[in-house]
């Protein structure tokens, strides 16, 4: 089994490699995969286990198990540690001023940190008021209310997205 360093949003494939035998046909061999001791793919004919859009929780210790269907004999691979690297942090929304008043200018800022060393990751942001979108997807991490009114009251959240890999995370 082999794997390369991976980031959130990557598609990954783990492959279980076995030595062919003159006495065993390919249909006699079945493969299963485990992460941290839990089955993630039951025994079947595929020697590959795929993860689409990897998440941090896909990190762990993986093994593959090979079973000969004629006699049930099994062998396990050595463990491989797969670590998914975080692209960017969950955003936090900050209000300026801290306690806005009617008539004030209010700036909501969506703070997040990019962790990857890639230079092609650009974040885009969306702002919500009471779960309703108030600012469409764009490159500004700020939403400005020029003159706050009562109807601007509510629970605000923001979402940060990457165009690359389509990753998105929302503030609490």
Give me the mean pLDDT over the 128-151 stretch. Answer: 96
Helix (H, G, I), strand (E, B) or coil at 5: coil
Q: Which of 8-17, 66-75, 81-90, 102-111 has the lowest mean pLDDT?
A: 66-75
- Chain-wide mean pLDDT for the chain? 91
Q: Cα–Cα distance between 48 and 146 in angstroms, integer?
A: 55
Q: What is the model's pLDDT at position 2?
A: 43
User: What is the band of 132 on the pLDDT scale with cuts at 50, 70, 90?
Assistant: very high
Q: Cα–Cα distance between 60 and 35 in angstroms, integer?
A: 6
Q: Cα–Cα distance between 143 and 129 in angstroms, integer?
A: 11
User: What is the band of 22 on the pLDDT scale with cuts at 50, 70, 90?
Assistant: low
Q: What is the model's pLDDT at position 1?
A: 46
For residue 29, pLDDT beyond 70: yes
Which residue ranges make up each domain of the chain? Answer: 6-85, 92-170
Q: Domain 6-85 is in which class?
A: mainly beta
Fold category of 92-170 in CATH:
Immunoglobulin-like (2.60.40)
Q: Cα–Cα distance between 65 and 16 in angstroms, integer?
A: 8
Q: What is the model's pLDDT at position 21?
A: 67
**All residues at 6 or more sequence positions from 72 whose CB lies less than 8 Å from its CB, including other chains:** none
Q: Output the pTM of the full model.
A: 0.75
């Amino acid at each position: 089994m082999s794997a390369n360093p991976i980031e959130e949003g990557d598609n990954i494939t783990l492959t279980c490699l076995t030595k062919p035998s003159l006495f065993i046909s390919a249909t006699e061999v079945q493969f299963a995969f485990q992460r941290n001791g839990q089955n993630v793919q039951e025994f079947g004919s595929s020697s590959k286990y795929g993860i689409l859009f990897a998440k941090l929780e896909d990190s762990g210790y993986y093994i593959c198990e090979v079973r000969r269907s004629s006699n049930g004999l099994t062998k396990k691979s050595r463990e491989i540690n797969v670590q998914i690297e975080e692209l960017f942090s969950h955003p936090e929304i900050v209000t300026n001023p801290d306690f806005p008043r009617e008539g004030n200018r209010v700036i909501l800022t969506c703070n997040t940190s990019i962790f990857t060393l890639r230079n092609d990751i650009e974040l885009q942001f969306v702002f919500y008021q009471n779960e309703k979108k108030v600012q469409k997807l764009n490159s500004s991490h700020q939403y400005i209310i020029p003159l706050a009114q009562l109807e601007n009251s509510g629970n605000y959240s923001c979402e940060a997205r990457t165009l690359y890999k389509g990753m998105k995370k929302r503030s609490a």
